[in-house]
Amino acid sequence: MPLYYIKPIVWNTNGYQRPSGVRFTSGWPMKHGFAFEEWNNSPDLIITENKEEFRFFHTGDFGIQPLDDYPEDIFVFMIASHDGRQDLVGVAGGATSLISNKIERQRLVNEHNLGSIEWQNDCWAIQNVQNCHENDQVQFHEFWNNSRRGIPNWKSPADLFLWLDNPLTLVPENITGKAKLVVMFGKFQEISRITALDILNQIHQPNDAYIIENLKARCSDELDIKTDIAQIQYDNTTNSTTKEALIQARIGQGRFRRDLMRIWNNSCAVTECTVLKVLKASHIKPWRDSTNNQRLDPNNGLLLIANLDALFDSGLISFDDSGEMIVSQLLSTKERKRLGIPQSLRLTLNSKQCHYLKHHRQTHEKLLNN
């Protein structure tokens, strides 16, 4: 299953193609007057290998996070803090971490001359860099040659790498419910797929529409569904009949959907909408947290129209035992009006449905209480 991270990088006013001389207040950038991520949008980091085009880029470390276990399966949302704002500056999808792979990083530097003398000169032209290195260019040259091997510590397919022409100011409360997103260069913040997709939907960059759509498609739950189906197919402990029922339940079809249609009289559990194409067979207790029996249990499901399904899946709405809708305070009065919420479930819940909904409320407790 893909991982989605918000990762702070330094602010840059030269389009992230060379250092811009912005002063830093913490960490490695403050000590040296620059940061390697200031070249993240440089054409020098567009590299073709084995007839595939990749974008290489740099971020601070992720500590002990086991990123090596997720090749081509990480989203990195790069943000920069400046002037009291936190802006999204770049997104890399389908990314592979090279942070722990020193040999591969060194190979890339050597074969593609990354961190060339031009980069070094651009860096030394910054007055703050000279100040940090006591105006000793010889010492800086030695430092540079030792440090540049760490430049490319991520790679992403070029068609899943987006650098924003105009940074997108993010609203932290809408993402995490807190006043600020993570700010330290050595830290990161994991977000859900739904939140990641919501951020992508805010980006409007016509010249890169193809890349944006690729990122949205890669970020959609379609990939998760395919992964889960593959796991079912390779499970030798489950018989073929159950496998087929699980696969159909995972894609919202088959017996599970029919049971939900029967329970909710062929209409949305909230709105009574009967347009089948927009009705989603939603699991209350998420698929990955459920046993096979729970995955097929219609009590562990709600039939919801697509927008309510997305809100429910992301934890922005839930229901109490009486069927009353609980709405997160992160949804403004204006947004609630647009969405036509809150509304209650149309039917009385049984004890099993209440049990599953309790799990849902506990899972999303922080969002629902904000």
320 and 285 Cβ atoms separated by less than 8 Å = no
Q: pTM for the full model? A: 0.65
Give the chain's mean pLDDT: 90
Amino acid of residue 272: E
Cα–Cα distance, 66 to 70 (Å, whole number): 8
**Burial call 207-237: b when 16+ CB within 10 Å, e when fewer:** ebeebbebbeebbeeebbeeebbeebeeeee
Per-residue pLDDT, 130: 96
Query: Hey, what are 41's tokens?
Result: 């949008």
Whether the pLDDT of residue 223 is over 70: the answer is no
Query: Higher model confidence: residue 208 or residue 77?
Result: 77
Centre a 10 Å sphere on the Cβ of residue 306 and count the other Cβ atoms it contains. 15
Average pLDDT over residues 307-335: 90
pLDDT of residue 222: 64
Residue 77, number of CB atoms within 10 A of its CB: 24
Residue range 138-174, pLDDT digits in tens: 999 999 999 998 899 999 999 999 999 999 999 988 8
**Residues 58, 95: Cα–Cα separation, whole Å:** 12
> Is the confidence at residue 221, as pLDDT, over 80?
no
Which residues does residue 304 pair with via DSSP β-bridges, in sequence order?
Answer: 280
Of 154, 156, 157, 161, give the one whose Cα is nearest residue 211: 161
| % of the chain exceeding 90 in pLDDT | 59
Cβ 269 vs Cβ 302: under 8 Å:
yes
Mean pLDDT of 168-194: 87
Helix, strand or coil, per DSSP, at residue 247: helix
pLDDT class for 329, splitting at 50, 70, 90?
confident
Average pLDDT of span 253-281: 91
Residue 277: φ, ψ to 5°: -65, -20
Looking at the predicted structure, is the pLDDT value of residue 360 above 70?
A: yes
